[in-house]
Structure formats: structure tokens, C-alpha cells
Amino acid sequence: MPLVSIKTVLAAVWVVGVCIAGILGNLSSPSSWAVLAAVALVPPGVMMWQWKTPPQTMSESIREVLR
């Protein structure tokens, strides 16, 4: 599975999990929903921003040239 796909799936699972926890937690106030939104969106955003693709290896470089 490509790295971009793994990051997207992990972010989506996190957001859905937090939303389910909020629904099951019976949140009622707008401030609690705002905190829930922050908890749901900030960690995946940081993960997508910080999780970089590893540098190309020597073997990958050689294979790319030989194609």
C-alpha cells in the first residue's frame, strides 16, 4: 500500500473514531463539540504534515536508471 494511502486511511480512521466517541459520549454543548473537532482534526493534520516519504535508496535509484 502506498504511503499516501496509508496516511489517508489512518487519518480517516482517527476522525471517525473520535466522532463515534463523541456521539457515544452524548456531547451536548457547542464548546464540547469544538474540542471534539480539534481532537479529531489536529492530530491527523500534524501527522500528514510531518510524516514525510523516506529518501530514495541506492537500489531504487539504480532500478530507476535501468528502466
Instruction: Identify the pLDDT of residue 31.
Output: 93
C-alpha cell at 7: 496516511
Dihedral pair phi/psi, residue 6, rounded to 5°: -65, -45
Q: Measure the CA–CA gap between 21 and 19, rounded to whole angstroms.
A: 5
pLDDT tens sequence across 7-57: 899 999 999 999 999 999 988 899 999 999 999 999 999 998 998 878 888
pLDDT at residue 1 tops 70: no
Q: Kindly give, in sequence order, each residue whose CB lies less than 8 Å from that of residue 63, ignoring residues fewer than 6 positions away.
A: none
Containing structural domain, residue 39: 3-66
| Strand, coil or helix: 61 | helix
Decide if 36 contacts 62 (C-beta within 8 A): no
pLDDT at residue 67 tops 70: yes
pLDDT at residue 2 tops 80: no
Q: Cβ–Cβ contacts within 10 Å for residue 40, how many?
A: 19
Instruction: Identify the pLDDT of residue 3.
Output: 67
Q: What average pLDDT does the segment 1-9 reach?
A: 79
Domain count, the chain: 1
